[in-house]
Amino acid sequence: MSENTNTTCPACGANHDEDAVKAALSTCPSCGHHYRMEPAERIAYLADAGTFAEFGEDVQSQNPIAFQTYEEKLSAAEAKTNMKDAVITGVCAIEGKPVVLALMSFGFMGGSMGSVVGEKICRAMQRSLDERMPLVIYATSGGARMQEGIFSLMQMAKTSAMAAELDEARIPYFVVLCDPTMGGVTASFAMLGDIIIAEPGALVGFAGERVIEGTIREKLPEGFRRAEMVRDKGFADLVVARQEQKKTLSYLIDLHAADLRGGKQWKK
């Protein structure tokens, strides 16, 4: 038995015990502030019980530019998150409909995209293509994996090229932007979904705030690049609270069912 501990909401200052926050899918019961969430917890609320089957779990980084201390960093991140890199890929059912699901982890080296993240995202896209299943990607990232140099940047082109193939094959591709989604992930597959959803309050952008302010020599407006402004400016289609995401994705998959003919569940 564990003792209840209190969490103070950084948005409204309300105190709640951790169980109440957990029960609200890691959102504040008072104001709805969305805490960051790791892939395992998301699978629990998104996938129909017991349907998630991981693939690509054997892909691991080879330290391509022999960056000192990188291997130690990877091992530490693995021990902390119980993941081998910053994305989990698998197939599951959402309200009975089969989908390919990829979820990034901000806890694993800031969700940075290196060769493993790029490769696993591409394999997830390939699986969607091969089996004509919709693709759902939960994106969160601080940007490129600096320890992989140019191999990290190359993942932007690689994942974008695969996203174009999905588009050509008319496979529905949905992205959910989580707090934060920045840098090379924003500048590639996270902005290429057919429908782009953002979690309330999520920071979505490319460069850091200080970099922009230093470049344009102006103070940035309140709420700049938060999910709601990102939607209002046309970079996202919807802001959807965690409690509504499964229902919304299920609805969107139904809407695009005609594109999936020949796929698993619609095969004659």
| Cβ atoms of 205 and 182 closer than 8 Å | yes
CB of 8 vs Zn ion, minimal distance in Å: 9
For the range 71-77, what are the long-range contacts, defined as Cβ-Cβ under 8 Å and sequence gap of 24 or more? 73/109, 73/147, 74/109, 77/107, 77/108, 77/109
CB of 151 vs Zn ion, minimal distance in Å: 40
Peptide bond into 180 cis (omega under 30): yes
The smaller minimum CB distance to Zn ion, of residues 11 and 238, is found at 11
CB of 202 vs Zn ion, minimal distance in Å: 15
- Rg (C-alpha) for the chain, rounded Å, is 19
Q: Looking only at residues 30 through 89 of this chain, which bind Zn ion when binding is defined by CB under 5 A?
A: 30-31, 33
CB of 15 vs Zn ion, minimal distance in Å: 10
Where do we find the tokens 């996270």?
190
28 binds Zn ion (CB under 5 A): yes
260 binds Zn ion (CB under 5 A): no
- Determine the interface stretch with Zn ion among 10-18, 135-143, 244-252, 253-261 (rule: CB under 5 A): 10-18
Q: Residue 249's Cα: distance from chain center in Å?
A: 14
Q: How many residues bind Zn ion (CB under 5 A)?
A: 8
From the list 104, 146, 135, 79, the residue with the least C-alpha distance to 252 is 135
CB of 232 vs Zn ion, minimal distance in Å: 22
7 binds Zn ion (CB under 5 A): no
SS3 state at 171: coil
| Cβ atoms of 174 and 249 closer than 8 Å | yes
11 binds Zn ion (CB under 5 A): yes
12 binds Zn ion (CB under 5 A): yes
How far apart are the C-alpha atoms of 11 and 201, rounded to whole Å?
Answer: 10
25 binds Zn ion (CB under 5 A): no
- Determine the interface stretch with Zn ion among 4-12, 70-78, 157-165, 255-263 (rule: CB under 5 A): 4-12
The smaller minimum CB distance to Zn ion, of residues 30 and 63, is found at 30
CB of 27 vs Zn ion, minimal distance in Å: 8
How far apart are the C-alpha atoms of 148 and 176, rounded to whole Å?
Answer: 26
Binding site for Zn ion (CB under 5 A): 9, 11-12, 14, 28, 30-31, 33
